[in-house]
Chains A and B, each alone.
Chain A
Amino acid sequence: DAGVTQSPTHLIKTRGQQVTLRCSPKSGHDTVSWYQQALGQGPQFIFQYYEEEERQRGNFPDRFSGHQFPNYSSELNVNALLLGDSALYLCASSSDLNTEAFFGQGTRLTVV
């Protein structure tokens, strides 16, 4: 079992650009959640996808959007990047029947 996989691992973008991050959930999991982790902070919830729909959303602007595909994989899109968007972006997968969430290795996004 490959666990939760994220791509790319590192990314450097310029202010104002757009970025897409990708996540493949653990086998058997149908729910994908995205978190943003700034340096020295705990992860902050962005949104969650289940059955290809956004089910819950945290306190993030609508520059942050996402998508879930029929195979349960997911994308996180961020438009009009700001310097403050620089962070480690984490994907977590879980089963809708089980609360335990497993995280991927993350994508380190640097905005310059």
Chain B
Amino acid sequence: EDQVTQSPEALRLQEGESSSLNCSYTVSGLRGLFWYRQDPGKGPEFLFTLYSAGEEKEKERLKATLTKKESFLHITAPKPEDSATYLCAVQAGWDSGNTPLVFGKGTRLSVIA
């Protein structure tokens, strides 16, 4: 069974204090790994897709990396507006069409000014 585990469950940072969020996964043939940001009561906002080990993508203060077993979301010099829950999801299999996303429980990030 495909599984995604995110750690830590919650993270509290001072503004400017860089850190990383972890997403470990087991999947039968990774098609893609996705990072989303979710604000309270809202839908997930797409951040990145990673397809193969060694791939990296950046957006503003965020950088996502991928290995064969895990992905990291690095946050450099975070600001209070980066406070949100960050969700990791995997898409498995190579059937035609889009197979469903399997999500972790997320990491709740709080950035304190």
Q: Which residues does A use to contact B, with CB under 8 Å? A: 4, 6, 31, 33, 35, 40-45, 48, 50, 55-56, 58, 88, 90, 92, 94, 96, 99-106, 108
Contact = CB atoms under 8 A, between A and B. Distances in A.
B98 A94 contact: yes
B113 to A, nearest CB: 25
B18 to A, nearest CB: 25
A40 B106 CA distance: 8
19 contacts: A4-B43, A33-B101, A35-B101, A41-B105, A42-B105, A43-B44, A43-B87, A43-B89, A43-B103, A55-B97, A56-B100, A90-B44, A94-B98, A96-B97, A99-B91, A101-B98, A104-B43, A105-B43, A106-B41
Given A31-B97, A33-B101, A41-B105, 4 more contacts: A35-B101, A43-B44, A99-B32, A101-B101
Contacts of A90: 43-44
Contacts of B42: 105-106
The main secondary structure of chain A at its interface with chain B is: strand
Interface of B: 4, 31-32, 34, 36, 41-46, 49, 87, 89, 91, 97-106
Given A40-B105, A101-B46, A102-B46, A108 B41 contact: yes
